[in-house]
Chains A and B, each alone.
Chain A
Amino acid sequence: MPTTIKVNGVDRTVDVDSDTALLWVLRDVLGMTGTKFGCGMALCGACTVHVDGVATRSCITPIDSVSASEITTIEAIGATAAGAKIQKAWLDREVVQCGYCQSGQIMSASALLASNPHPTDSDIDDAMSGNICRCGTYVRIREAIKQAAQSNGQGG
């Protein structure tokens, strides 16, 4: 049935079953393939998007649960202050290897930075532990989050 969702500030009306996962609406219906399918069971984090600013696994998020929400994806995260800082840090630190999980990593990291401008190591662990990287880029991810946090200035 037709459902309207707000993706990256734009209202999009899609005709899918009400329990269709947000991930498939983004990828297959709207053609926004930056958000990745990994496990389909919220175990890997590759599909992470923001729902009202909160990092959310889109693969298990039914479309009818987000019709009143603001959804942000990797395609538009650079337009947010935290997202732009994270993307720059990712480039400066050459975080990416194969890159398949990195959309989800960046979405989790930018949600963390938006809510916590100066995260501690344990804050980073808590926020990022659900995002798995088969290439093992974890060390650079942590460095990049710290670099992005430093650009927030002191006093946090």
Chain B
Amino acid sequence: MILNHLTSPAAGPGRSPSANDFSRRSFLQAGAAAGGGLLLSLRLPFATGDAEAADGFAPNAFIGIGRDGQIVLTMPYVEMGQGTYTSIPMLIAEELEVDLKQVKLEHAPPNEKLYGNPLLGGVQATGNSNAIRAAWQPLRQAGAIARTMLVSAAAKRWNVDPASCRAQSGEVLHPPTGRSITYGKLAADAARVPIPKGVVLKRAEDFKLIGTPAKRLDTPSKVNGTAVYGIDVRPPGVKIATLAQSPVFGGRVKRVDDSAPRLSRACDRSYGSTTPSRSWPTIWGPRRKGWRRW
């Protein structure tokens, strides 16, 4: 509901129309990944253009290409059934020239300073239809930059003109000599290539993935119970609270019966409207049994 009251600045015509509009200093940095691959760190502007305004570089999305060729995107948007975990990897895969299934997605950890969404009052949240609008340009650009760096690394290795090479399905090819090499084998070398200037993004009519139907990447985990939802997360020492509401208007708590052994063992004895506990059954059972008197 709150989302309906928010402004929706669109990344429309005239806004970052070409790949060169982003300040590379604040938008993207490249380096070696842990384990020796290529790591691109970038700042998703959340459709507000804050990347241009930021003084320092505070990346909030990361693209890693490992020596095994696995591409891992770490980013803060949450999948809620809207397809974000499939559409966002599409943006990278399109320009990086890899199959959609080659992109693995990891969710960013909680950190509002890095991942807070200015469109949602600085809260680390996903909504307002802004994931694709915010990521549309920078993630395709990051994919194109990574692809260009991988091609450069291959051309250097083969001592050929980069323009004579092309990228396809996670490999760099050199058609004149029939040579090919996987991204995984190039990732470490690519990390030492300077970030290219003026990469050109594909025209819409050349898209192979974007705009096509795709099997959702999150579905397999949702038919076998392995998908992790918010309620499934169990940080060490987490407390769980339940809300007990008076059955009559204006009622006040008269007595709290915490004599049930499991309840007294688990509770922190903070009798506001909620009672923290370490697990659901310890509060859910007593709650059902009417452990409060009104």
Contacts and interface: CB of A to CB of B under 8 A. Distances in A.
A138 interface: no
Interface residues of A, number: 36
A21 B225 CA distance: 19
Contact of A20 (B215, B227, B281): B281
Given A33-B232, A97-B81, A24 B279 contact: yes
A94 B214 CA distance: 10
Given A20-B285, A27-B280, A103 B216 contact: no
A35 B287 CA distance: 21
B224 A74 contact: yes
A99 B281 contact: no
Interface residues of B, number: 25
A17 B231 contact: no
Contacts of A31: 234
A99 B231 contact: no
B216 A90 contact: no
Interface string A116-154: 000000000000000000010000000000000000000
A139 to B, nearest CB: 15
Contacts of B226: 34, 75
Contacts of A34: 224-226
A37 B81 contact: no
A97 B216 CA distance: 9
Contacts of B219: 90-91, 94, 96, 99
Interface of B: 80-81, 215-216, 218-220, 222-229, 231-232, 234, 262, 279-281, 284-285, 288
Interface of A: 16-17, 19-21, 24-25, 27-29, 31-37, 40, 73-75, 77-78, 87, 90-91, 94, 96-100, 102-103, 106, 135
